[in-house]
Amino acid sequence: MSYGGFRRNDNFGPKPVETGKEYDVQITEISRKGDGIARIQGFVIFVKNGKVGQNAKIRVIQVGNRFATAEIVDGASGSTEDMTPSSAAPASEQSSS
């Protein structure tokens, strides 16, 4: 007996990303929680610590029915350097010259 709309179907077709794989993406939006949002073939990927306009290499952590979550690789250290005073040092040295 079928329950119509209450039937759970976890197979919404093939996903363009896989858990554990790395992809090059561009962050185009920010989520309500502050994570970056990227898309691969229209599939939404929430990227921890992503910033709008950022091009990043990401590693997919989890793939769900409607979206995936990922973290930045290679660019992760760069994003933390952006917050440290040492990254501002070369600019201040240039301006004082």
What CATH code is carried by the domain that includes residue 29?
2.40.50.140
Is residue 13 very low, low, confident or very high in pLDDT (cuts 50, 70, 90)?
Answer: confident
Residue 22 lies in a domain: yes
Q: Which residue segment(s) compose the domain that 51 sits in?
A: 14-75
User: What tokens were used for 45?
Assistant: 């990927």
Residue with tokens 């329950």: 3
Tell me phi and psi for residue 54, to 5 degrees.
Answer: -80, 130
Residue 27 lies in a domain: yes
Q: How far apart are CA 61 and CA 93, in angstroms?
A: 40
Residue 45 lies in a domain: yes
Tell me how far the alpha carbon of residue 94 is from its chain's centroid: 33
Residue 9 lies in a domain: no
The model's pTM:
0.66
- pLDDT tens for 72-96 read 997 543 343 344 344 444 444 554 5
Residue 39 lies in a domain: yes
Of the candidates 47, 42, 15, 16, the one whose C-alpha atom is nearest the C-alpha of residue 31 is 47
Please state the domain count of the chain.
1
Of the candidates 32, 72, 41, the one whose C-alpha atom is nearest the C-alpha of residue 55 is 72
Rounded mean pLDDT of 1-9? Answer: 52
- pLDDT tens for 43-71 read 999 999 999 999 999 999 999 999 999 99
Residue 92 lies in a domain: no
**Which segments of the chain are extended strands (E)?**
22-26, 29-30, 36-40, 43-48, 55-63, 67-73
